[in-house]
Amino acid sequence: MTISTGSPSNVINIMTRKLAAKNAIAPSQSDKGSRTRVISISSGKGGVGKTNIVANLGISLSRLGKKVMIFDADLGLGNLDILLGLTPKYNFSHVILGEKTLSEIIVEGPCNIKILPASSGIQEMANLSKEQTASFLNDLYDVIDPIDILLIDTAAGISSHVMYFNAMAHEVLVVVSPEPTSITDAYALMKILSIRYDVKQFKLLVNMVSDIQEAHEVYRQLKLVSERFLDINMEYIGHVTYDKNIRRGVRQQKAVCDLYPDTQASKCFSSLAVKLCQSQVSTSKNTRLFWKELIGNKQDLTKQ
């Protein structure tokens, strides 16, 4: 958050920066979207809170002044729009059928968040061909150009699409709950991403905990095994407490951060957003090149 004191030197600094931004060279076509920080949210196991986390984190980041877009990448069973009480006329299936462009399906959510809605109940959406994937990605870099942070809400499971969206992101945020099944699924997800897709850095978010101690304990256990048996690095990024107001929000189709800004979970989301903004990240990984290589040189992995 920028706090301006209004002192003469501050005003000059702000004016200089504005002028510099105005005179900056416009990004070339191949640079498009290259400044956007891409964060995927994944878990292996379903029902651990990914979609709620993406929605509330998006709102919290937007409140910090970031331009946020959320891509509902649960392509066949998307429900982010339902969660936020939105009724998009078009969704990702219309893009794949060639009826709409990606920019035409974008809807605006709370706090000016841009949302790319997924289809629900269309099984084919979970099995895109490599041509469809390639064309979608080309469009994606155009629409994320003015965006600071793209959050990708991935599907449950370890399908190749889930892996792709994680592999293309600059950061992979793994969500776990304290349940052993969630912990083992998160381990399996990181194992495949590290061995097959060379993803070595993970950020761990522990959801549905009673307090920070419980979250740290889950982190300690998972870090111990994963760093011993996998060649990865896992960083603790935060926790969200179990909060019945999240469920109340879901029933009212409103994000808890909007409905109950002072409840414990909302405070956790705000802290998480601040921590993410403070954490250093390299956006040098050229996600466009990554995809080109994957789609152009390899067999059709989308149909594994």
List the one residue out of 90, 162, 75 whose CA is nearest residue 120.
Answer: 75
* 47 scored as a contact of ligand ADP (CB under 6 A): yes
Task: Provide, rounded to whole angstroms, the least separation between the CB of residue 157 and ligand ADP.
Answer: 11
Task: Provide, rounded to whole angstroms, the least separation between the CB of residue 75 and Mg ion.
Answer: 12
* CB neighbour list of residue 119: distance below 8 Å, 6 or more residues apart: 75, 76, 78, 91, 92, 93, 125
Q: Please give the residues from 149 up to 168 whose contact with ligand ADP meets the rule CB under 6 A.
A: 156
| Smaller CB separation from Mg ion, 125 or 294 | 125
List the one residue out of 55, 91, 84 whose CA is nearest residue 70.
Answer: 55
| Smaller CB separation from ligand ADP, 248 or 285 | 248
- Our CA angle for 44, 135, 74, nearest 5°, is 25
Task: Provide, rounded to whole angstroms, the least separation between the CB of residue 53 and ligand ADP.
Answer: 7
Site for ligand ADP (CB under 6 A): which residue of 72, 171, 185, 243? 243
DSSP string, 71-87: EEE-TTB--HHHHTT--
* 50 scored as a contact of ligand ADP (CB under 6 A): yes
| Cβ pair 171, 203 in contact under 8 A | yes
List the one residue out of 158, 151, 153 whose CA is nearest residue 44.
Answer: 158
**What does the per-residue mask of binding to ligand ADP show for 81-120, with x meaning CB under 6 A?**
----------------------------------------
* 58 scored as a contact of ligand ADP (CB under 6 A): no
Secondary element (H or E) of residue 205: strand 201-209
For binding to Mg ion (CB under 5 A), which residues are involved?
50-51
Q: Which residues of the chain form contacts with ligand ADP (CB under 6 A)? A: 43, 46-52, 156, 207-208, 240, 242-243, 246-247, 250, 265
